[in-house]
């Protein structure tokens, strides 16, 4: 799209819709804001659908066939209209899954929900191509600065990336920015859904996320991230690590030199504190299973909720550690190359980086040991009974694991 005034979904619920740019004397049904859109760019008309059968003997089928309709696009003179990236110069009937382009900034996906059909394979392939080219969709703003065509924000260090795109793809790019969708609603009203729906239809929209914040709100943001995801929920389990890495990245590129080292220590110490607290809670809960009588009641299913939390922070610690190992040297080098950079600042940053990695390594090792310990403890109760009997008897007698008590359900399913 051209700016944030553009809509994501347009319902084609009339016999005819006009597409164009609003003027003092005219307002089209579908208003687009790009300067290369004409006041009357094209028309979208509902037309009778082609008959699928030459002869019909059933009157009901013949009536239903006569009521079917589809949408045709009628471009105006000198208007840039593409259907599936091919120039459209005459009235063209649209099919479910066609990509309809207006000018250099608009791409819509035409959908017909009346048949409830999935998107064609060719459409999915085109949407994947759009997603792959999203990261290279830039244009020149004021003072030669590059801006994103999707949101208008300034882009940093993108010149090398854009220049590395093959010429054929750069030439194709002006028509591959901000895909939107066109669709048809039931028995008449068509619709134009936008970018998100295209992603659900199979196109993968790739936008590089950024997390920007003021340094004064650093602690508040960290508290929010640490409590954002429930380990036992359905959300992506590595979300905290991803957001924390974005915080580190923003601090290193925006705040005064050396700030990211302090933020790094603040993050890993919070992760360490949470991991210690969760393993301590797990130890307190399992302390009641020390005697043989209660030990027999211990099962893996009882451990899962607590182990999920421990595994959750172990996996996030691994991701953060990997990020530090890969990116921190570059951040440190940027401090080293600054003019007038003090040696004490560089030394403090390197020390903070090393300490952060040490803390994360301790968290990973300790949480892993705790998980292994409690899983082994639960299996210790189950395995003797399983190993003392033959789970695969030669005669027709019932296997011991069927009547045994304490066998985990996953073990039973494997033996079945």
Together in a domain, 242 and 346? yes
Q: What is the mean pLDDT of residues 110-119?
A: 76
Together in a domain, 85 and 128? yes
The total of other beta-carbon atoms located within 10 Å of residue 303's CB is 19
CA 59 from centre of chain: 50
Q: How much is the pTM?
A: 0.48
| Structural domain includes residue 226 | yes
| Structural domain includes residue 384 | no
Q: What is the mean pLDDT of residues 170-197?
A: 38
Together in a domain, 166 and 267? no
| Structural domain includes residue 73 | yes
Structural domain range at position 32: 10-135+161-200
Together in a domain, 28 and 170? yes
Q: Which helix (H) or strand (E) holds 33?
A: none
Together in a domain, 264 and 187? no
Number of separate domains in the chain: 2
Q: What is the mean pLDDT of residues 310-318?
A: 94
| Structural domain includes residue 382 | no
Mean pLDDT of the chain: 74
More confident residue, 121 or 59: 121
| Structural domain includes residue 189 | yes
| Structural domain includes residue 81 | yes
Together in a domain, 168 and 262? no
Q: Say how far apart CA 58 and CA 89 lie, in whole Å.
A: 38
| Structural domain includes residue 409 | no
Together in a domain, 190 and 238? no
Model pLDDT for residues 120-136, shown as the tens digit of each residue: 888 887 787 777 666 55
How many residues does the structure list for the chain?
416
Which positions ≥6 away from 117 have C-beta within 8 Å? 96
**Per-residue pLDDT at 80 exceeds 70:** yes
The predicted structure's pLDDT at residue 290: 61
Model pLDDT for residues 224-241, shown as the tens digit of each residue: 999 888 888 778 899 999
**Contact in structure between 314 and 368 (CB atoms under 8 Å):** yes
Residue 44's pLDDT band (cuts 50, 70, 90): very high
Residue 67's pLDDT band (cuts 50, 70, 90): low
**Contact in structure between 209 and 151 (CB atoms under 8 Å):** no
Together in a domain, 28 and 76? yes
Together in a domain, 246 and 311? yes
Together in a domain, 271 and 192? no
Model pLDDT for residues 147-162, shown as the tens digit of each residue: 444 444 455 444 444 4
The predicted structure's pLDDT at residue 177: 32
Residue 300's pLDDT band (cuts 50, 70, 90): low
Together in a domain, 166 and 228? no
The predicted structure's pLDDT at residue 144: 53
Q: What percent of the chain has pLDDT over 70?
A: 62
Together in a domain, 176 and 227? no
Q: Say how far apart CA 276 and CA 268 lie, in whole Å.
A: 12
The predicted structure's pLDDT at residue 268: 95
The predicted structure's pLDDT at residue 317: 95
Residue 168's pLDDT band (cuts 50, 70, 90): very low
- 108-110-113 Cα angle (round to 5): 140
The predicted structure's pLDDT at residue 198: 38
More confident residue, 103 or 402: 103
Q: What is the mean pLDDT of residues 6-14?
A: 82
Residue 377's pLDDT band (cuts 50, 70, 90): confident
**Per-residue pLDDT at 314 exceeds 90:** yes
| Structural domain includes residue 336 | yes
Three-state secondary-structure class, residue 236: coil
Model pLDDT for residues 323-340, shown as the tens digit of each residue: 999 988 888 877 776 655
* CATH code, 167: 2.60.200.20
């Amino acid at each position: 799209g051209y700016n944030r005034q553009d809509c994501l979904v347009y319902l084609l619920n009339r016999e005819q819709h006009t597409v164009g740019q609003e003027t003092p004397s005219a307002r089209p049904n579908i208003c687009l804001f790009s300067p290369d859109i004409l006041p009357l760019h094209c028309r979208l008309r509902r037309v009778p659908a082609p008959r699928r059968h030459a002869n019909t003997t059933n009157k009901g089928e013949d009536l239903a066939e006569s009521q079917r309709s589809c949408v045709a696009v009628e471009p105006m003179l000198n208007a840039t209209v593409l259907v599936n990236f091919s120039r459209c110069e005459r009235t063209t009937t649209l099919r479910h899954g066609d990509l309809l382009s207006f000018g250099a900034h608009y791409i819509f996906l035409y959908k017909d929900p009346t048949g409830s059909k999935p998107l064609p394979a060719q459409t999915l392939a085109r949407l994947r191509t759009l997603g792959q080219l999203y990261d290279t969709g830039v244009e020149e703003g004021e003072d030669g600065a590059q801006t994103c065509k999707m949101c208008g924000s300034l882009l940093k260090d993108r010149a090398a990336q854009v220049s590395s795109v093959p010429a054929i793809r750069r030439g194709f790019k002006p028509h591959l920015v901000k895909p939107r969708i066109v669709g048809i609603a039931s028995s008449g009203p068509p619709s134009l859904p936008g970018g998100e729906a295209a992603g659900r239809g199979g196109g993968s929209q790739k936008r590089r996320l950024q997390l920007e914040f003021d340094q004064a709100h650093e602690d508040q943001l960290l508290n929010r991230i640490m409590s954002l995801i429930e380990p036992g929920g359905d959300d992506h389990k590595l979300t905290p690590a991803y957001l924390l890495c974005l915080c580190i990245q923003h601090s290193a590129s925006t705040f005064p030199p050396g700030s990211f080292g302090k933020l790094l220590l603040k993050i890993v110490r919070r992760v360490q504190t949470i991991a210690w607290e969760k393993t301590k809670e797990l130890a307190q809960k399992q302390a009641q299973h020390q005697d043989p009588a209660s030990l027999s009641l211990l099962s893996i299913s009882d451990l899962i909720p607590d182990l999920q939390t421990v595994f959750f922070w172990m996996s996030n610690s691994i991701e953060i550690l990997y990020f530090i190992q890969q990116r921190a040297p570059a951040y440190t080098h940027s401090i080293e190359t600054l003019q007038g950079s003090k040696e004490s600042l560089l030394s403090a940053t390197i020390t903070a980086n090393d300490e952060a990695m040490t803390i994360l390594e301790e968290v990973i090792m300790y949480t892993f040991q705790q998980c292994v310990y409690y899983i082994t403890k639960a299996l210790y109760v189950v395995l003797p009974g399983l190993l003392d009997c033959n789970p695969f008897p030669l005669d027709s007698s019932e296997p011991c694991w069927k009547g045994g008590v304490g066998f985990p359900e996953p073990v039973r399913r494997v033996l079945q």
